[in-house]
Amino acid sequence: MARSGDCSDAEWSRRVELAALFRLSAHFGWSDLTSTHISARLSEQPGRYLLNSYDLMFEEITASNLSILDFDGCVHSKGHVLNEAGHIIHSGILKARPEINFVIHSHTRAGIAVSAMPGGLQPLSQHAGFVRGTLATHGYQDSTAVADEGALLAADLGNNFAMLLENHGLLVVGRTPAEAFIYHYYLEMACKIQVDILAGHDRPIRIGDDSMAALADWGSPHGEPQGETQWSALLRMLERNQPDYRS
């Protein structure tokens, strides 16, 4: 497939950014077969957003095979398969947070493990410090079986940029693709580190409150979006190894 003639420059740019996020997620091991999802708001088309088709692995996703959905759940892309849970989650967040353009939801092994631990993410690493200041929690619910689950997710997320979905996984948001990526990267790394530490000791050293406050300031989403420095390097990696993501 290739870019269609009726796709604007703005839409194509957003498609390429989202395809990059999918390929990076596959590269870093964040995918779960064809489940989980990443979305991007179509700023020129109010009430519409891009999402992956449910029948594609993340490594297969390109700019041109992403689905267009509206907030009512209608798919505006022929031959694409709707992930109902994905629509509920992403439309709920995007409707509630107009400043947010990207949402990542994952089922990583470490993310699920930490989401099921009493106390959630603990102050055990710099990576945890980066996200704990903007981290929320949402109790487990079947996304497709609870009325207004999207709105409930958004309410629990509040103004934060990351969330533990208890017994389920991770959710992060960003104003840019770089920001969404970097919050997921640090949250997932923090979860891996915590699982490793607690596997070896039940009374680990914890970072003090003053130091954690400084780390939270470092990871704060206030001001310019996070992750821009790393994003250009990540795109260069994709260009070397998976340039077809732009197709």
Dump pLDDT digits (tens) for 210-230.
999 999 999 999 889 999 999
Instruction: List, for residues 186-216, the tens digit of each pLDDT value.
Output: 999 999 999 999 999 989 999 999 999 999 9
What are the E-state strand segments in the chain? 37-41, 48-51, 67-70, 102-106, 135-138, 162-165, 169-174
Please state the pTM of the whole predicted model: 0.95
Tell me how far apart the alpha carbons of residues 169 and 188 are, in angstroms, rounded to a whole number: 10
Specify burial of residue 3 (Cβ count, 10 A radius: 0-12, 13-18, 19+).
middle
Q: Hey, what long-range contacts does 140-143 have (CB within 8 A, 24 or more apart)?
A: 140/165, 140/166, 140/167, 140/168, 143/84, 143/85, 143/88, 143/89
Walk me through the domains of the chain, giving residue ranges and CATH numbers: 12-246 (3.40.225.10)
pLDDT attached to residue 79: 78
Q: Which two tokens stand for residue 36?
A: 């989980």
Tell me how far apart the alpha carbons of residues 78 and 4 are, in angstroms, rounded to a whole number: 13
Residue 95 neighbours by CB under 8 Å, 6+ apart: 71, 150, 154
Please list the pLDDT of the chain residue by residue as tens digits (247 residues): 567 667 899 999 999 999 999 999 999 999 999 999 999 999 999 999 999 999 999 999 999 999 999 999 889 888 799 889 999 999 999 999 999 999 999 999 999 999 999 999 999 999 999 999 999 999 998 877 777 899 999 999 999 999 999 999 999 999 999 999 999 999 999 999 999 999 999 899 999 999 999 999 999 998 899 999 999 999 999 999 999 999 9
pLDDT attached to residue 121: 98
